[in-house]
A and B are shown apart, each in its own frame.
Chain A
Amino acid sequence: MSEPAPERPLNSGRTPVSIVACPNGPLLIRGDFELVGADGSELPRTRRTVALCRCGASVLKPYCDGSHKLTGFKSEP
C-alpha cells in the first residue's frame, strides 16, 4: 500500500471542506462540515455534498432548488 495522501490522512476523520462558488448558481460544499441553524442545532441534511442557495429564490432554503435558473440570477455584477 502506498502512503496516504498528505491532504487526507487516514483516521483523521476529517476531509477538508471545499466550497465551489458556481457561476450564476449555488455554493457547492464538499467535505466534512456541519450545517447548523442560528441556535447551533444541526439542520436536516440527507447528503454529503450540498448546494446552498445564494440567489434567494429557493423554496428549500438553505438548499438550492434550481430556482436561480428561472430568475436569471447572475453571480457576477
Chain B
Amino acid sequence: MKQPSPRGEVSALVLAIIAGTTESQQDSIERLGALVEAALSETADILYDDDLQLALFCLYELHYSGIDGAGDDWEWNPDLLRVRQQLEVAFERRVRDEVVLGELPGTTSEAVCAELFRMTGEDSGPSMSRYVAKSATNEQLREFLVHKSIYQLKEADPHTWAIPRLSGRSKAALVEIQADEYGNGLPARMHSALFARTMRELGMDDSYGAYLDATPAITLAVNNLMSLFGLNRRLRGAIVGHLAAYEMTSSQPNRLYSRGFKRLGYGEDALEYFDEHVEADAVHEQIAGRDMAGGLVESDPRLLQDVLFGAAAGLAVDALMTVHIMDAWEAGRSSLRASESMAS
C-alpha cells in the first residue's frame, strides 16, 4: 500500500525507518524503542491512540502486502519486531481489560458452538446495520465503506495465518471457509474482489489503503486485533474464536447493509458483496462454530478460554468502532478523521 501520513512521533519514525529516510538507522531504531515506551506510558487509551495504532498497523502491514518504499527485509528485522512486541503487549493487555467472559462451557464441540452463538446473539450496543438500512445518507455509505475497506480489501487474510497452526477437523473447517472467502478458485468471486467492486460502484478508489489516512484509531484497532491474533501462534485459539464470532454476526447485518445501498439506488454490482455474505456466512457460521472452534477445543481443551476470548475481544472492539461511527453520525459529524476530507 502507499505510505500513510504519520499521526505522531512514533508512526513518523516507524515510517521513516522503513523508508530508509533516517540519517542513522541504528540510532533511529534505538530512539524508536524509547519513544514507544514513553508513548505507552503517556497514552490515555491505546485503543484510541492514532499514533500508536498506526505504528502497529504499519508494522503488521510489512507481513501482508508491504508498504511502498519499504524494503522487504524489514518484515523480520529483530529490532522492529521488538518494537512491535512492545506495542502488542500493551494492546493485548488493554483488550483483555475490555473483555469479560461468562461461565465457561464444556469442551465438547457442541457446547463451544452453543456458547459462541449465545455470545454473538447478545445485544452489544447500537446497530450500524439498521441505521444503514433505514437512514444513512450517500456520504455515510461512503464513510462506512472507508472503515470497512481496511479489512475487506484483504478479507480473510489475517485468519489464514492460523491454517498451519491447526490440524484435523478444525484445519479442514478453516480451509473450507477460506476457500469460499477466496472465491473457490475464481478471482472475481473473492470476497475482497466483490468488496472492491462495491467501492468502484460508489466511485471510490479500491486500491488497498487508499483511505487509510481517513480512518480513526479505533478502526485500525479492529484490524490490528486480527493481526495480533493471526500472527502469534500462542493466540491461535483467539484467532479461531475471532473468526467464528465474525461469521456469526454477519448474515443479518449484511442483509440490512444491502437494503441500505438498494434504498439509495445502487444496483446489483454494488449489492452483491453484501448479498453474497448473507448466504455464505449462514454456512460459515455453522462450520466455524462447530467444526473449527468446537473441533479445536475438542482436540485441545486448554484452548477453550482463548477461543472465547478471541470471540469476545472481536465483538468488543467492533462494538467500540460502531459506537464511534454512530456517535458521529447521530451528532451530524463525519466519523472519519477530522483532518481528512473524503475526496469524491
Contact = CB atoms under 8 A, between A and B. Distances in A.
Contact of A65 (B110, B121, B251, B286): B251
Interface stretch (B75-83, B134-142, B195-203, B273-281): B273-281
Contact of A23 (B114, B184, B251, B255): B114
A51 B189 CA distance: 19
Interface string A29-64: 000000000000000001111110000001110011
Contacts of B114: 23
A49 B283 contact: yes
B252 A63 contact: no
Interface string B240-281: 000000000001100100000000000000000000101111
Interface in B181-234: 184, 189
Contacts of A51: 282-283, 286
A33 to B, nearest CB: 14
Contacts of A17: none
Interface of B is mostly: helix
Chain B interface size, under 10 / 10 to 19 / 20 to 34 / 35 or more: 20 to 34
A2 to B, nearest CB: 17
A10 B107 CA distance: 35
A65 B282 CA distance: 5
A20 B252 CA distance: 22
B131 interface: no
B180 interface: yes
Contacts of A69: 117, 121, 252
A70 interface: yes
Interface residues of A, number: 23
Contact of B180 (A20, A28, A47, A64): A47
B287 A66 contact: no
B176 interface: yes
B84 interface: no
B290 interface: yes
B285 interface: yes
A60 B279 contact: yes
B283 A65 contact: no
Contacts of B255: 59, 65
Interface-central residue, A23, A28, A51, A60, by most chain B CB under 10 Å: A51
A64 B282 contact: yes
B205 to A, nearest CB: 28
A63 B251 CA distance: 12
B286 A22 contact: yes
B278 A47 contact: no
Nearest to A51: B283
A34 to B, nearest CB: 17
Interface-central residue, B255, B278, B283, by most chain A CB under 10 Å: B283
Contacts of B287: 28, 49
A48 B251 CA distance: 18
B280 A66 contact: no
A77 B321 CA distance: 39
A72 to B, nearest CB: 10
18 contacts: A20-B286, A20-B290, A22-B286, A25-B286, A26-B282, A28-B286, A46-B279, A47-B180, A47-B283, A49-B180, A59-B255, A63-B282, A65-B278, A65-B282, A66-B278, A66-B285, A69-B117, A69-B252
Interface of A: 20, 22-26, 28, 46-51, 58-60, 63-67, 69-70
Interface of B: 110, 114, 117, 121, 176, 180, 184, 189, 251-252, 255, 276, 278-283, 285-287, 290
Given A26-B282, A49-B283, A65-B282, 17 more contacts: A23-B114, A28-B286, A47-B279, A50-B283, A51-B283, A59-B255, A60-B279, A60-B282, A63-B279, A64-B279, A65-B278, A65-B279, A66-B251, A66-B278, A66-B285, A69-B117, A69-B252
